[in-house]
Structure formats: structure tokens, C-alpha cells
Structure 1
């Protein structure tokens, strides 16, 4: 059992709390039973599996499945587990996964495109919402928070492993082929003339949302076929970007369901 906080492996894992280290080591953290279950469901290989004896006793079946996917397994003390996790009260298991390059998602019906998203909780929530609403995937600008930030994974509630996701340094170039193929691009802009429910979202659609403070860049806004807004009562400056994504995605879902009924 690993009990020393000075153990080289423990120190290596703790470094993964930092974006720079995740990029250098090409590894990231997977914390908690729920996320581990999601990884096991898709047979995602684990570089390292760390767990406490109490966790193994409680989750014997999951532990056995995770063992089969793990290149290295370590039984650790509660103190060590707490030190390598980013959460205040971890539930007894932390896995380390290799970063792998994945192809960008391909869209034909409904997709979410995000520019310069900085808050990991927002991104994780939008991943979860996009999966729940039936989006085909999510495309993110390269200047956004990393997909494998620990809080992104936790906020996605396991959907991180199910929703196709990609990152692109030039969203404008990435979106133009879809536009040429007939997909409409809808930009959420505070000053738009149309509300989001006034647009026909039954047709193939890409939804653009921008940075939490600055919104969409002028270049992406200009690329959009239509601009929509979410009307707010006087005195309310804006909505959280994850809430905005949920409203528009579910309006698309509502329109499509009504069209099929």
C-alpha cells in the first residue's frame, strides 16, 4: 500500500492538477466512482488505478473490471488518495488516463460549437447537456479550457466518454464546409433581432456560443446565417453560457419532436 505523500508516483500524479503538466505528461485524472464506471463502460484503458481498501470492498465488481483495463494498479491510503485528488472529499478512487488524439466530430443534424470557453464547469455542463439533447458532438476553439480539466470531467457526469468532441484553432474554416453542405449556423448574440424560438431549428443546425464575458468574436458572428438572442427582463445583464446552450439545444429538440408527432 502506498502511504507516503513523498512517494514519486504520488508526486507525479499530483502534478496532473496543473494544465501544463497534463500536457507535458500526456496524462489526465479521472476522479470518482461515477467517472470510472463511465470509462469502464467504453473499455477505456487506464494508465494507473489508485484506490483505497474501503472503496474496493464497496465496489468489488467495478474494481475487478477496472483492474483488467489498468496497466498499473496501486492500493493507497486515504491520505494519499486525498492528496492526489482535486476534490475536497474524494470517494476512494482516482485513475490516470493517457491523452489520446481524437478526430473532430462530424455533423449532419445538430451540433454545438463553442468559442473561448474559460470556465471548466460551464464546459462540462454543456457536454452533459449536448449529449442529453441529442447533439452529434461538440467543437471547441483551441483557446478554451482543456477538455481533460478535472472539473470538466466531473461536470460532464460521465457524458465526456460518450459525446464526440474536438478542438480546432480555426473554427471559421472548420465550419464553412458544413455551411456549404446546407447546415445553418445560428449564433447566440445579445443584440440579435430574433429570439431563439423564432428560428426553424428542425433543419440541420450548428449552434454557436461564445466566451462567458466577451461572447462570440465578430468573425464567427459574421459567419452565421442567423443571429438569435435569449430575451431577458430589464436589469438582467446576461445568462450563464451553459444555461444558454441548454435553452437553444432543447428548443431544437422540442421543435423536432413536435415535427415528428
Structure 2
């Protein structure tokens, strides 16, 4: 059993708390029983799995599955799990997994583009909502928050493993390619006189959402077929970008069920 915080493997894995460490090692952390269940269900590869004897005793079937899928298994003390986890009260298991960036693909019915999203909780919530509304996939600008940030993965509640995601080097080019595939493009802006529900969302659609403070860049707005807004009461400046995404995605679902 590993008990020392100075163990080289433990020290290397703790570096994944930081974006620099994740980028250099091309790995990220998967924390907690539920996320490990989702990773295994989607057959996502695991590198090293750390778990405590108490966790092993409570989760025998999952432990057996994890042992089959992981390249390396380590039984560790509670102290080690506490040091590896980014949560206050970890439940006894933490794993490292490889980063796997998606390639550009065809969106047939519905996709979203996120421009310079900065809050990891927002991104994780958007991913969770995207899976709940059955979108084809998500494009994320390279200058957004790290897709592999622990808070992003946790906030997705496991949905992270169930959505096709592309980190885009050039959102303009990607949007142009998607328009060429026949998708209509909606940009969400605060000053449009078109409400989001006024658009026929039964058509193949790409929804563009922007930074929590500055919104979508002008270059991307200019590519949109429609600029739409979410009406707000007087005195309300804006909505959280994750809430805005959910509102529009569920309007898509409503229209397509009529």
C-alpha cells in the first residue's frame, strides 16, 4: 500500500491539479466513484487508479472492472487519496486518464460552439446539459478554460465522457465548414431584436455562445445567419452562460417535438 506523499507516482499525479501539469503529461484526473463508473461505461482508457481499502470493500464489482481497464492499480491510504483529489471529501478513488481531443466531424442536427468560456463550472454544466438534450457535439475555442480541468469534469456529473468535443484552433474556419454542411448558425447576443424562439430550430442548427463577460467575438457574430437574444426583465444585465445554453437547447427540443 502506498502511504508516502513523497512517492514519485503520487507526486507526478498531483501535478495534474495544475493546467501546466495536465498539458505536459497529456493526462487528467478522474475523481470519485460516479465518474469512474461513467468512464468505464464508455470504455474510456485509464492509466493509473488509486483507491483505498475501504473503497475497495464497498465497491467490489466496480473495483474488478477498473482493475481490468487500468494500466496500473495502486492501493493507497486515505492520506494519499486526500492529496490526489481536488475535492474536500473524496470518496476513496482517483484515477489518471489520457487526454483525447476529438477531430472535426459532421454535425447532422445540433451542435454548440463556445467562444472563450472561462469558468470551469459553466463549461461542465454546459456539457451536462448538452448530453441531456442529445446534441451531436461541442466545439470549444483553444483560449477557453481547460477542457480537462477537474472542476469541468466534476460539474459535468459524468456527462463529460458521453459527448463528442473538439478543441478548435480556429472557430471561424470550423463554423464555415459546418455552414457548408447545411447548418444554420445562431449567435447569442444581448442587443438583437430577434428572440431565440422566433427562429425555426427544427432545422440543423449550430448555436454559438460566448465569454461570460465580453460575449462572442465580432468575427463569429458576422458568420451567423441569425443573431438572437434571450429577453430579460428591466434591470437584469445578463444570464449565466450555462443557463443561456440550457434555455436555448430546450427550446430546440420543444420545437422538434411539436
The TM-score normalised by the length of structure 2 is: 0.98
Listed one character per residue, the Cα deviations across residues 112-169 of structure 1 (whole Å, up to 9, x for unaligned) are: 1100001111001101101111110101111011111111111111111111110112
Once the 2 structures are TM-superposed, how far is the Cα of residue 93 of structure 1 from its aligned partner?
A: 0.2
Which secondary structure does the structure 2 equivalent of 1:16 belong to? helix
Q: Distance in 2 between matches of 1:163 and 1:45?
A: 15
The residue that corresponds to 1:92 in the other structure is 92
Question: What do you get for the CA RMSD once the two structures are aligned?
Answer: 0.9
Q: How does 1:117-196 map to 2 (within 5 A)?
A: 117-196=117-196
Q: State yes or no: 1:22 paired with 2:22.
A: yes
The residue that corresponds to 1:3 in the other structure is 3
Contact 2:27-2:99 at 8 Å conserved across structures: yes
Which secondary structure does the structure 2 equivalent of 1:208 belong to? strand
Listed one character per residue, the Cα deviations across residues 77-106 of structure 1 (whole Å, up to 9, x for unaligned) are: 001100010011111100001123322342
Contact 2:133-2:249 at 8 Å conserved across structures: yes
Contact 2:189-2:228 at 8 Å conserved across structures: yes
Q: How does 1:78-117 map to 2 (within 5 A)?
A: 78-117=78-117
Which secondary structure does the structure 1 equivalent of 2:50 belong to? strand
Contact 2:102-2:167 at 8 Å conserved across structures: no
Listed one character per residue, the Cα deviations across residues 222-246 of structure 1 (whole Å, up to 9, x for unaligned) are: 1100011011111111000000000
Contact 1:105-1:136 at 8 Å conserved across structures: no
Q: Distance in 2 between matches of 1:245 and 1:102?
A: 21
Which secondary structure does the structure 2 equivalent of 1:28 belong to? strand
The residue that corresponds to 1:205 in the other structure is 205
Once the 2 structures are TM-superposed, how far is the Cα of residue 170 of structure 1 from its aligned partner?
A: 0.9
Q: Distance in 2 between matches of 1:205 and 1:101?
A: 23
Q: Distance in 2 between matches of 1:216 and 1:41?
A: 35
Unaligned runs of 5+ in 1: none
Q: Distance in 2 between matches of 1:211 and 1:194?
A: 20
Contact 2:141-2:167 at 8 Å conserved across structures: yes
Q: How does 1:30-109 map to 2 (within 5 A)?
A: 30-109=30-109
Contact 1:105-1:139 at 8 Å conserved across structures: no
Once the 2 structures are TM-superposed, how far is the Cα of residue 177 of structure 1 from its aligned partner?
A: 2.0
Q: Distance in 2 between matches of 1:193 and 1:101?
A: 37
Listed one character per residue, the Cα deviations across residues 183-217 of structure 1 (whole Å, up to 9, x for unaligned) are: 10000000011111111101110000000100000
